[in-house]
Amino acid sequence: NAGVTQTPKFQVLKTGQSMTLQCAQDMNHNSMYWYRQDPGMGLRLIYYSASEGTTDKGEVPNGYNVSRLNKREFSLRLESAAPSQTSVYFCATITDRLNTEAFFGQGTRLTVV
Partner 1 sequence: GQQVMQIPQYQHVQEGEDFTTYCNSSTTLSNIQWYKQRPGGHPVFLIQLVKSGEVKKQKRLTFQFGEAKKNSSLHITATQTTDVGTYFCAGRGTGGFKTIFGAGTRLFVKA
Residues that bind partner 1 (CB under 8 A): 31, 33, 35, 40-45, 48, 50, 56, 58-59, 90, 94, 97, 99-107
Pairing, β 74-78 against β 64-68: antiparallel
Nearer to partner 1, 42 or 53 (CB): 42
Nearer to partner 1, 79 or 96 (CB): 96
Closest to partner 1 by CB, 80 vs 84, is 84
**H or E segment and range at residue 76:** strand 74-78
Specify the residue, 17 or 67, whose C-beta has the smaller distance to partner 1: 67
CA angle 45-65-112, nearest 5°? 80
We find the least distance from the C-beta atom of residue 79 to partner 1, in angstroms, to be 23
Q: How many residues in the chain?
A: 113
Neighbours of 81 (CB within 10 A): 21
CB of residue 106 to partner 1, shortest distance in Å: 6
**Structural contact between residues 107 and 6, judged by C-beta atoms closer than 8 angstroms:** yes
